[in-house]
Structure 1
Amino acid sequence: MLKLSVLDQSPLLHNHTPQEALQQTLTLAQHADELGYTRFWMSEHHSTTSLAGSAPEILVPTIAAHTKQIRVGTGGVLLPHYSPFKVAEQFRVLEAMYPNRIDLGIGRAPGGQPGVNYALNRGQYPDTKNYPTDAGHLIDYLLGHDPQGYQVKATPMSPTTPPVWMLGSSGSSAQVAGELGASYNFAQFINPEDGREAVERYYDHFIPSPLQEEPYASIAVFVVVGDTDEEAEYYASSLDTALLMADQGQRRDHFPNPEEASQMTFNHFEQKRIVENRSRMIVGNVESVKQQLIDLATHYQVNEVMVNSIVAPFEQRLAAYEKLAQAFHLS
């Protein structure tokens, strides 16, 4: 049976505040926990006014403390901005507090506008070429080693070690994940191109490690579910508009509600871009979405899909995850 997980970005829905968006993340996590989803990840976005999740490493302990069994993690920590040793310490603490429930997801892309990168790195632009080395050092620190010879140890060294996931939207990150013996997640909701090749590249380059003996991959995709296809299209119009605005470089403070988005008109080029963006999304009634998710997992040769459903109102988001849980008989 296909496993389902949740990727949440703490989106600001129409007429909601950042505080409400973060509270909705907690509510959604508790809902997903009760419904039987496998894991709940939160993303890292900086200087983005429509997404409240700028510090997932802070959200993780809050979510873990208010849920019972779901795995909680980052999707992901943007490693070029941070010290591998410090990230290892943070997640060793989290693992000690919530053993066997923490996932450490990391990403290579610096993310955000140039100013974000300078602000996070004291006026310097991060060098992503060091990512494979930094990721290797992070894993070594997690495992209790001292890879840089500084005579340090990432503490506390509890009996278990959180699994490391590498997030990517290209084959290069997939290869690094395989060579370091980590898990891999392909972000189809960011880049729908060449995903199958990226996952295959991960499998082909996987080397067993102290983290795991077998390769494990998953994918993340936008999902919009309705009682009917027509209702799903209505709710999807909000995400269509938000993605188009992002492509055009428009700054927005919230995701447009479907009432206004469904009435908007677009020129030929905008309509074409909306159609192209649909390859990042799965839209339809619950049975249609279920089959599309199964087909997507089969295409990628994975047995876990992370669902990112951004629709308004918030109650509809909760309902979408509940419909999917029932369709897949999660428990």
Structure 2
Amino acid sequence: MPRLADTALSLLDLAPIRDDGGPAQALQNALALAQHAEALGFTRFWVAEHHNMDGIACSATAVLVGYLAAGTRQIRVGAGGIMLPNHAPLVVAEQFGTLATLYPGRIDLGLGRAPGADHHTARALRRDRLGSDDDFPADVEELQALLGPAQPGQQVIAMPGVGTEVPIWLLGSSLFSARLAARKGLPYAFASHFAPAYLHEAIRLYRDNFQPSAVLDKPYVMIGVPLIAAPSDEEAEFLATTAFQRVLALLRGESRVLRPPVASMSGRWSRQEQAAVGDFLGLAVIGGPEKVRARLEVLLEQTGADELIFTGDLYEPAARLRSFEILAGLR
């Protein structure tokens, strides 16, 4: 079974906006975190496409990936992910082909089939484009072809993009993408940082049905883990109330800006809301160094994951940097 010391560690960021800040500060904080992750030896730094959310500044995902890649030197940078139904595959191929041309060997392209937004925003994004989420397998196929070598008689070429073969990952929080990733022989990332319910079933399904491909000869699984690490368990529990408040706001349809930690969540949520937040963050690792190490070792034993990708909703940027520094020090 994998051990923490031997497991690739990566970060997923949403460029969170604080209640006293704005998007410019959030984007600068994202770059500072990417540079910190690079210095700590993390494998990759991803950002995820979201729209119409006042607390998240990563809507123009490809643009942000370029900003982060320009500000770092070695760490892999990418999308975790691009919500493919929102975009024509040719546009994605051109964007990420351009990134791969500018930063060769450093760009990842994770693909999801959800809109990353409410249905009103999804309609605004897609306008009169035909198709739906059900077209995802065909869109993935088209995107792979556009990023692959040019074929005789090919009428549409992504330039830049053709021949770059940007590594594609399939992302998911259910079983659909697990099946598709297995059939296509692609690496698979499960969104257990917010939807852990199907984690073990999805991993089993992916591994049992995996078919080797030109890009991968055996299954490769990455799982998302919310992390709040601090010098002590007590401080970590205090800092985690920022994440609790954010998920609670999501469930209530309220503003999702980051709010400062509070001494207690008592009186801030109902019993049902507390349970719902607990389900959302069911895989969260919150604690001091030894508790974090123990929880992660158990998680690796249970899942056999090849890579862990961490999120961390902490209010103070310095506390977020410290959280991932503590994680890196456990290896």
**TM-score when normalising by structure 2:** 0.92
Q: Which residue in the other structure is 2:295 paired with?
A: 292
- Residues 80 and 110, structure 1, Cα contact 8 Å, conserved in 2: yes
Distance 1:292 1:63, change over 3 A: same
What is the CA–CA distance in structure 2 between the aligned matches of 1:217 and 1:267, rounded to whole Å? 36
Shift of 1:315: 0.8
Q: Which residue in the other structure is 1:249 paired with?
A: 253
Q: Which residue in the other structure is 1:320 paired with?
A: 323
1:7 to 8, 12, 25: 12
- Residues 181 and 210, structure 2, Cα contact 8 Å, conserved in 1: yes
| 3-state SS, counterpart of residue 18 of structure 2 | coil
Instruction: Between 276-285 and 213-222, report the one with greater CA deviation.
Output: 276-285
Amino acid at match of 2:282: S
1:224 to 2:262 alignment: no
- Residues 144 and 157, structure 1, Cα contact 8 Å, conserved in 2: no
1:186-217 Cα shifts (integer Å, max 9, x gaps): 00012111211101211222222222222211
1:47-100 Cα shifts (integer Å, max 9, x gaps): 100111101111111111111111000010000111112212222222122111
Distance 1:233 1:157, change over 3 A: closer
1:265 to 2:244 alignment: no
- Residues 234 and 262, structure 1, Cα contact 8 Å, conserved in 2: no
Instruction: Between 23-32 and 78-87, report the one with greater CA deviation.
Output: 78-87
1:307 to 298, 307, 310: 310
- Residues 47 and 112, structure 1, Cα contact 8 Å, conserved in 2: yes
Give unpaired runs (5+ residues) of structure 2.
1-5
What is the CA–CA distance in structure 2 between the aligned matches of 1:155 and 1:60, rounded to whole Å? 18
The alignment-based identity, stated in percent, is: 37
* RMSD (Å) for aligned C-alpha atoms: 2.0
Q: Which residue in the other structure is 2:199 paired with?
A: 195
2:138 to 133, 148, 156: 133
Residues 26-65 of structure 1: pairs in structure 2 closer than 5 A: 26-65=31-70
What is the CA–CA distance in structure 1 between the aligned matches of 2:24 and 2:161, rounded to whole Å? 34
2:147 to 142, 145, 155: 142
Count of residues in Structure 1 that have an aligned counterpart in Structure 2: 326
Distance 1:157 1:267, change over 3 A: closer
1:204 to 202, 208, 215: 208
Q: Which residue in the other structure is 1:95 paired with?
A: 100
What is the CA–CA distance in structure 2 between the aligned matches of 1:114 and 1:158, rounded to whole Å? 33
Amino acid at match of 1:107: G
1:78 to 70, 80, 83: 83
What is the CA–CA distance in structure 1 between the aligned matches of 2:135 and 2:11, rounded to whole Å? 30
What is the CA–CA distance in structure 1 between the aligned matches of 2:123 and 2:129, rounded to whole Å? 5
